[in-house]
Amino acid sequence: MDDLLADFVAETREMLESIEGEIIAWEADPGDRERLDSIFRFVHTVKGNCGFFDFPRLAKLSHAAEGALGEVRSGRRAANARLVTAVLSVIDRIAAMVDAIEAKEEFPEGGDEMLVSALEDSEGAVLDVAASHPREEVQTARASQSSAAPRSIRLPVELLDRVMSGVSDMVLARNDLARRLRETPDAGALDGPFERLSGILSEVREGISQMRMHHIDHLYQSLPRLVRDLSNELGKQVMIDFEGGDVELDREIMEMIRDPMTHLLRNAIDHGIETPSRRIAAGKREIGLLNVSARHSGNEIRLTVTDDGKGLDPAKIVAKAIETGVVTEQEASRLSNEEKINLIFAPGLSTAEEVSEISGRGVGMDVVRANLERIGGSIKVTSKPGEFTSFQLQIPLTLSIVAGLTVQAGGHQFAIPQSYVLEIVRRRSSSVETTTLGANRLVKIRGNRIPYLALHDVLALPKNAGKDEGEASDLADILILVHVSTGDRFALGVDSIFDYEDLVVKPLAPAIMATGFYSGSTLLDNGTPILMLDMREIAAKHNLVSATRASKSPSLEADAKKIVKKAAEVMTFETFDGLECAVRMPMVLRIDTIDPATIDYHGKVAQTIIDDRLMPLVGIGPQHETEETVRTLRLSDGTSSLLYAVARISDTQPLTSEIVPSDDPAYEGTVLLNGRPVRLIDGHQLFAKFARPDEASNGLSCALPDDEWSKAILEPLVVAAGYRVERNVENCDVAIVMGDAPPAQTEQAAGRVIRLRETEIARESEQGTVYRYDRDALVAALSQATGGNAA
Amino acid sequence: MTEMLLIANIDGRRAAIPASEIASVIEIEEIVAVPMAPSHIVGLTAMRSQALTVVCCRSSLGLVPMQYKRGDRAVVIKIDGHQYALLVDEVEGVVMSSSEPEPVKGGFGEHWNRVALGKVETSGEPAVLIDHKQIVKGPQALAA
């Protein structure tokens, strides 16, 4: 019997959830027969089940609702707002009773009759249904229902979790096995089956992760009701619109963003969207629009909540922030508007002139942000006064698998969630200045002074034993630039870094969690447990996350601006000839890795294919021919680009020393970097010599005759010469026509005309024409024809 | 009522833990230290690809910590979904209790009182029945 009862509760809940939207839709369009039918079916089913289980009150309520809806169905009665409200109240009451049934509690007596009579006599009854149904009760009923919502997959959640953690363990066991296989000689025969096992396991793992996934629609379903209730209460008209309902999200995360989402919507309706009269006065539609959209973006979900209300007023927010001491006046004056409105996430800031019942529940935007950050997400706001406010939320896809960077400090290994890592700076290869201010230290990375923490100090570990104590600077070898939240950055010093790995993070025992340094543990491939660092807490412990987080970043940026005479930066590398060279940073477009098979060494300069284009490849010749992939710098002068093959890329660093001119024209001169002479590549010379113009780089167009020969043979030649082929004769800079073309065609040509002839030897009538296979003459004619334009 | 008890040796004393609470007894391999953790938390160790929190029973009692080495025995228990390995000097074996736990006049002494549930008689010598949850909590529970 208990099992049946549990099924009844689960089934009713599931139906309740899906029916919510239907009711709102039905209210908007009472003539919608389909919605009416599904609501009718719901109460009918509940009534049927109640008879079986002997819940007389539930049966009576559902019976009354069924009766009223039945009358509407048969056309004897029209659906009006009062009826809808009455039906809603009944459904709420059913939900609350179902909760009580599950909790094996007695549902408080009374109230049912009023609900029933509200249903029965919608015309005459003057009784206020809302009053008979205290708001709080609805709230609690909703809250408990929503928290139980994911259970509706009809599978004990615990079982699902157990299977999940089982699969995670299998992955770890597989990794362990892999390690042992590697260590075992002559285990070759096991490779095949092991590969197969690995393959199957990753498939299972993927499947299991999907089991945790839910369409975000699930979250959306509960929102229209919230919007309806709130807007009714506040006398506003609000329409809510959803996008991306099929985006999938870990159900655990979905539960964790439910409250922040609800809060954002409450805020939007309460403070954002104006009353209908004000909206009309402002020239807007009477009905306010709320938009919630979700989309995938790499490893995270981006959720946007936008309202077309009055927007945020930066001046007001700043005034409040100054009043509550979040920022000083001086700091505030340096903030951009965007930074100003993002102050609403600072603790203790509520901009509402009076705290209202709806959003003034002691939950501020700081709590919303804290909740999101706890799951590794983030939030920011943009707004235009009078037009809109838009909150952008970034949420990780799943909680249990985290991409992490493994590091070592003081002889211990730790993992850092990759989402916190901005950049890794190797101190050995780039100059990092430090300053000590009081007891704290700052490092200067590319002109920004950033607080510095050594991980071994943070964890009170001994300094890396292998390190030479006599070294001038006691800065760690590797600095990890960490960002904890908008604008808050610090450099974490570690002894070495290992690798990025996908880590299956497990919770830690409470005693370890209580230290506040760790967020979980995970096992490495070799089976060793490793601790995941809680970067937020570590930053907070060192006062690196201030209440005025948003105000931190501008001062950093201001610092950067102050350093006007910022040194030019160069990238250093080693050529295939073993020379240490440097190239000015602005020239480097990016670093490409190319397949050696695509390199063509014939000709004066090697060339290779990249992005389906042939590119000159400098710095490598037939004597360097290699089987390995080749790293190249893609250099650009703005209009053309070329590739420079390098044996090894060292670093980027500021150009601090003087340039000593060199007699080799390929180099600007020699510079001193880290105490070593480095040749600085002369970009001018390089491009003058090797650059191949990018497509249509001369910006000129050429019209061709419309025949097969021109398309197959002439066009490639013209394109290679840097012209864009233009079909319309009137718009071209130069037109090529066949000698026998009618004069009319040539008269239209806007630019110069080149006539081609069929035979090698010109006839008398063909003066001034070019033989069509005389390549040099043709190219010369082209450049002559456009000479004036090009210059 | 009688029950199965695991008798372990902590600082030379016989301590009993109800066998029903014990998941297994393992030999410690490598322990990864947890910097900044309370002193009785020795670190983490892996058992069948799961991380266990290793607790030193002696430290938890406020005694001189154990100098553990590979192969030392630990008793694995589970509290609120977390697995702990309790480092003990020695594991004697499982015996049947022959009495209900009962208090002892004068208590068990400053270190043991916090974790002791009472004296139990076994087929051999009596032992102190200990509360494994208190062991895991460690000495800071006293201050709290």
pLDDT, tens digit, 9 for 90 and up, residues A468-527 = 444 435 677 888 888 876 567 888 989 888 877 777 777 788 888 888 888 888 877 677
Q: A771, A773, A770, A568: which is closest to A652 by C-alpha?
A: A568
- State the Cα–Cα distance between residues A628 and A625, nearest whole angstrom: 9
Same domain, A417 and A382: no
Number of H helices and E strands in chain B, helices first, is: 3, 10
pLDDT of B53 above 90: yes
Residues A389 and A408 occupy one common structural domain: no
**Smallest CA–CA distance from A520 into chain B, residue:** B51
| Sheet (strand B41-47) strand order | B22-27, B73-79, B82-87, B50-56, B41-47
**What ipTM score was computed for the predicted complex, to two decimals?**
0.86
The tally of domains found in chain A comes to 6
Which of A693, A718, A735 corresponds to the end of one domain? A693
- What count of residues does chain B have? 144
Is residue A786 assigned to a domain? yes
Same domain, A248 and A384: yes
Of B35, B36, B51, the CB nearest to A529: B51
* Cα dihedral A259→A260→A263→A269 (10° resolution): -120
Most confident of the following: A9-18, A735-744, B83-92, B105-114: B83-92
Report which secondary-structure segment, H or E, holds A515: none
* Nearest residue on chain B to A176, alpha-carbon basis: B49
Contact B51 A506 (CB under 8 A): yes
Do A443 and A513 have their domain in common? yes
A768, with CB counted inside 10 A (0-12, 13-18, 19+), is: exposed
Amino acid at the residue A432: V
Whether A64 maps to a domain, the answer reads: yes
Distance CA A663, CA A236 (A): 78
- Burial status of residue A292 (CB atoms within 10 A of its CB: 0-12, 13-18, 19 or more): buried
C-alpha–C-alpha distance, residues A120 and A127, integer Å = 12
Chain A positions in Cβ-Cβ contact with residue B33 (cut-off 8 Å): 412
Q: Which residues in chain B touch residue A509, judged by CB atoms under 8 angstroms apart?
A: 41, 53, 82, 84, 136
- Write down the pLDDT at residue B44: 92
Most B CBs within 10 Å, among A459, A528, A533, A538, to test the B interface: A528
Task: Give the gap in angstroms from C-alpha B1 to the nearest C-alpha of chain A.
Answer: 33
- Say what angle helices A56-73 and A112-120 make with each other, to 10 degrees: 10
Dist. CA A123–CA A125, nearest whole Å: 6
What are the structural domain ranges in chain B?
4-138
- Which secondary structure element, helix H or strand E, spans residue A463, and what is its range? none
B-chain CB neighbours of A514 within 8 Å are: 38
Q: Which helix (H) or strand (E) holds A730?
A: none
Token pair of A559, please? 């610092």
Residue A516 is assigned to a structural domain of this protein? yes
Q: Looking at the domain B4-138, which fold is it? A: OB fold (Dihydrolipoamide Acetyltransferase, E2P) (2.40.50)
Quick check: B53 and A512 CB within 8 A?
yes
- State the CB neighbour count (10 A cutoff) for residue A162: 11
A708 with A641, same domain: the answer is no
In a domain, A324, yes or no: no
pLDDT in the model for residue A553? 35
- Nearest CA to A692 out of A645, A752, A639 is that of A639
- Of all residues in chain A, the one with the smallest CA distance to B47 is A527
| Distance in angstroms (rounded) separating the CA atoms of residues A746 and A748 | 5
Say whether both A383 and A240 belong to one domain. Answer: yes
Residue ranges in chain A modelled with pLDDT below 70: 1-3, 51-52, 121-154, 157, 298-299, 348-363, 398-401, 428-431, 464-474, 485-487, 525, 545-567, 638, 692-699, 740-751, 764-766, 786-791
Which residues are paired to A736 by β-bridges?
Answer: A754
Is residue B9 exposed (0-12), middle (13-18) or buried (19+ Cβ within 10 Å)? middle
- Answer yes or no: do A580 and A443 share one domain: no
**Predicted local confidence at residue A648, as pLDDT:** 80
CA–CA min distance B94, chain A (Å): 27
**Closest residue, chain A, to B141 (C-alpha):** A511
Yes or no, beta carbons of B46 and A528 under 8 Å apart: yes
Q: Tokens 């974790």 label which residue?
A: B115
For residue A320 the two structure tokens come to 């409040």
Rg of chain B over CA atoms, in angstroms?
15
Residues of chain A in Cβ contact (below 8 Å) with chain B: 169, 172-173, 175-176, 410, 412-413, 459-461, 506-512, 514-515, 517-518, 521-523, 527-531
Is B49–A508 a contact, with Cβ atoms under 8 angstroms apart? no
Task: Name which of A678, A669, A590 is nearest A633 in CA terms.
Answer: A590
The answer to whether residues A675 and A617 touch, using CB atoms and an 8 Å cutoff, is no
Of A172, A176, A531, the CB nearest to B34: A531
Are A269 and A260 contacting, i.e. CB atoms less than 8 angstroms apart?
no
Residue A386 shares a structural domain with residue A244: yes
Per-residue pLDDT, A41: 81
Please report residues of B whose CB lies closer than 8 A to that of A510. Answer: 80, 82
Contact (CB, 8 A) for A486 and A553: yes
Strand, coil or helix: what is B55?
A: strand
Find out whether A785 and A752 touch, Cβ atoms under 8 Å: yes
Query: Rounded CA gap, A221 and A146, in Å?
Result: 10
Helices A251-267 & A223-234, crossing angle to 10 degrees?
20
Query: From the CA of A520, how many Å to the nearest CA of chain B?
Result: 10
Answer whether residue A343 is part of any domain: no
| Residues A658, A663, A665, A666, Cα dihedral to 10° | -60
pLDDT at A319: 85
Query: Of A188, A212, A236, which one is at a domain's C-terminal end?
Result: A212
Q: Check whether residue A229 and residue A374 sit in a common domain.
A: yes
Q: What is the CATH number of the domain that holds A383?
A: 3.30.565.10
Q: Are residues A38 and A134 in the same domain?
A: yes
The residue of B44, B55, B77 whose CB has the most chain A CBs within 10 angstroms, and thus the best one to mutate to test that interface, is B44
Instruction: State which H helix or E strand residue B119 sits in.
Output: strand B116-120
CB B38 within 8 A of CB A511: yes
B49/A527 Cβ within 8 A: yes
Which among A506, A510, A512 has the least Cβ separation from residue B34? A512
Quick one: three-class SS letters along A123-182?
CCCCCCHHHHCCHHHHHHHHHHHHHHHHHHHCCCHHHHHHHHHHHHHHHHHHHHHHHHHH
Inter-chain CB proximity A523 and B138 less than 8 Å? no
Q: Count of A–B CB contacts within 8 Å? A: 72
Residues A687 and A722 in one domain: no
Are residues A412 and B33, on separate chains, in Cβ contact within 8 Å? yes
Answer whether A12's CB lies under 8 Å from A46's CB: yes
Same domain, A136 and A181: no
Q: Which domain holds residue A475?
A: 403-540+549-562
Please, which residues have CB within 8 angstroms of residue A509's CB and are 6 or more apart in sequence? Answer: B41, B53, B82, B84, B136
Alpha-carbon gap: B32 to the closest alpha carbon of chain A (Å) = 7
